[in-house]
Amino acid sequence: MAKKAKTLGVNLPVPQSTEEATTAIADIGALNREIGRFNADANDRIAEINKVLADKVLPLQERVTALTEGLKVWAEAHRASLTNGGKVKFANLVTGTISWRNLPPKVSLRKVDDVITAIKQMGLGKKFLRTKEEVDKEAMLKEADRARTVAGVTIGSAGEEFIVEPFEVDAPGAQA
């Protein structure tokens, strides 16, 4: 049974001449500019909304911070009674809960090269240093014929992309 050939361009406005192709590119440019105007308008509106929101929320956030810090001072002063002598790390109050959490430990490094050198000098390399092994894809692309001989490696085509770039003029001093 013969395969049915795919028909490209069905239900698409396919230009039938160079003039129609030129018009299509101009239309694409006009549509892209219109999309850009809609996006710019939306971004302007979003910026206005964000400014109004920030103006209204900032004083509220400052008040929450002040209340939280004051509550923390009070809770620390009464921690023993609130936590039943340290048996629990929370206190249920009528309107909510306060609690204390231990943060997980973290390692901070300054001058990483010096730290690595010190670890090696102390003989702690196997405990505190790791070696990461990974495939060098850039090297494989440079030697594609040889890389193809490795089981599991496929060097594919980068493909081809069709690009339409309508000519546009930027006004002097205009920013995109």
Q: Are residues 30 and 48 in the same domain?
A: yes
Whether 96 and 68 have beta carbons less than 8 Å apart is answered as no
Q: Are residues 28 and 69 in the same domain?
A: yes
Instruction: Please tell me the predicted confidence (pLDDT) of residue 33.
Output: 95
Whether 98 and 82 have beta carbons less than 8 Å apart is answered as yes
With respect to residue 126, please indicate whether it lies within any of the assigned structural domains: yes
Q: Total domain count for the chain?
A: 2
Q: Is 32 helix (H, G, I), strand (E, B) or coil?
A: helix
With respect to residue 41, please indicate whether it lies within any of the assigned structural domains: yes
Instruction: Please tell me the predicted confidence (pLDDT) of residue 1.
Output: 47
With respect to residue 2, please indicate whether it lies within any of the assigned structural domains: no
Instruction: Please tell me the predicted confidence (pLDDT) of residue 165.
Output: 84
The 10s digit of each residue's pLDDT in 95-123 is: 999 999 988 888 999 999 999 999 999 99
Q: Which residues contact 90 (CB under 8 A, 6 or more apart)?
A: 83, 97, 98, 99, 100
d(CA 129, CA 119): 8
Q: Are residues 95 and 113 in the same domain?
A: no
The 10s digit of each residue's pLDDT in 39-95 is: 999 999 999 999 999 999 999 999 999 999 999 999 999 999 999 888 899 898 899
Here the tokens at position 100 are 């204390």
Whether 44 and 38 have beta carbons less than 8 Å apart is answered as no
The pLDDT of 3-18, averaged and rounded, is 73
Q: Is the pTM of this model over 0.75?
A: no
Query: What are the distances in angstroms from CA 63 to CA 42, 60, 75, 82?
Result: 32, 5, 18, 24
Q: Are residues 43 and 93 in the same domain?
A: yes
* Domain ranges, residue 131: 109-148
With respect to residue 115, please indicate whether it lies within any of the assigned structural domains: yes
Which one is predicted more confidently, 9 or 147? 147
Provide the percentage of residues in the chain whose pLDDT is more than 70: 91
Query: What are the distances in angstroms from CA 53 to CA 46, 47, 56, 110?
Result: 10, 10, 5, 39
Q: Are residues 39 and 96 in the same domain?
A: yes
Q: Are residues 94 and 31 in the same domain?
A: yes
With respect to residue 47, please indicate whether it lies within any of the assigned structural domains: yes
The 10s digit of each residue's pLDDT in 149-175 is: 999 999 888 788 888 888 887 767 666
With respect to residue 170, please indicate whether it lies within any of the assigned structural domains: no
With respect to residue 159, please indicate whether it lies within any of the assigned structural domains: no
Q: Is the C-alpha dihedral spanning 13, 19, 25, 28 positive or negative?
A: negative
Q: Are residues 26 and 71 in the same domain?
A: yes
Domain end call among 60, 81, 100: 100
With respect to residue 91, please indicate whether it lies within any of the assigned structural domains: yes
Q: The tokens 């239309």 sit on which residue? A: 27
